[in-house]
Chains A and B, each alone.
Chain A
Amino acid sequence: NAGVMQNPRHLVRRRGQEARLRCSPMKGHSHVYWYRQLPEEGLKFMVYLQKENIIDESGMPKERFSAEFPKEGPSILRIQQVVRGDSAAYFCASSPQTKPGNQPQHFGDGTRLSIL
């Protein structure tokens, strides 16, 4: 399967714990985007990364959220000290070029994060 792989598919955390979401882009893609989707809503852009670089994190809360895309391994979205409001579906997408507006983005099936 050469598609975008996200894991885990479902993640349950208690308030105050940390959540780590992983995304392996499609083979040959070096650009990764993270989105958050609340129920009955569209996707909201969070962060755009290239290998070892954060290009734009303007959609990501400044507190508790961080993202990385190391030279080796998957991209990680990390949420520290989770709160109930972090409950959402988090999607990762990848593309081979820097202009996703001109190219389709390829999405994973998401991680559904539930905070108890």
Chain B
Amino acid sequence: SQQGEEDPQALSIQEGENATMNCSYKTSINNLQWYRQNSGRGLVHLILIRSNEREKHSGRLRVTLDTSKKSSSLLITASRAADTASYFCATDAKDSNDYKLSFGAGTTVTVRA
């Protein structure tokens, strides 16, 4: 079954606004990662947060992790047109071998100019 599930499926915002998307997962994890995928391209790694971390920042990105709720959120502040993409969370289940990453179906973000 899908380990990571993103919510919402799609998000449309105005340039300059913030975008927030969530990821829920089912089993205990070692780490959670967020990736971005532009149309027709491969995935680009954005940020990794370990299970013992609660929050992490990278530029305009802020990721939180709540292991008690098995959920994570990705916040993009002051969005730009270039942020238009699909965003995926990926987890590695604690009981599995570390190489297996499970991806959700993604959140498609459209930033309007």
Residues of A bordering B, CB below 8 Å: 4, 6, 31, 33, 35, 40-45, 48, 55-56, 91, 93, 98-110
Least distance between B73 CB and chain A CB atoms (Å)? 17
Nearest A-chain residue to B50, judged by Cβ: A102
CA A107 – CA B37 in complex, angstroms?
10
Q: Are B43 and A43 in contact (CB under 8 A)?
A: yes
Interface 9-mer from B63-71, B74-82, B102-110: B102-110
- Interface residues in B1-27 by Cβ distance below 8 A to A read 2, 4
Interface check B33, CB cutoff 8 A:
yes
B55 in the interface (beta carbon within 8 A): no
Provide the bound-state CA to CA distance between A54 and B74, in Å. Answer: 34
Q: What residues of chain B lie closer than 8 Å to A110, measured between beta carbons?
A: 41-42
B85 to A: closest C-beta gap in Å: 13
Chain B residues with CB under 8 Å of A55's CB are 99
**Interface presence of B61 (CB below 8 A):** no
Contacts of B31 in A (CB 8 A): 101-102
B99 and A98 contact, CB distance less than 8 A: yes
Chain B hits for A99, CB < 8 A: 98-99
Identify the interface centre among B35, B98, B99, B100: most chain A CB within 10 Å of its CB. Answer: B99
| B17 → A minimal CB distance (Å) | 24
Taking CB as reference atom, which chain B residue is nearest A107? B42
B45 near A42 with CB under 8 A, answer: no
Is the CB–CB distance between B106 and A42 below 8 Å? yes
Given contacts A100-B101, A102-B31, A104-B48, 4 further A-B contacts (CB under 8 A): A40-B105, A101-B101, A104-B45, A107-B43
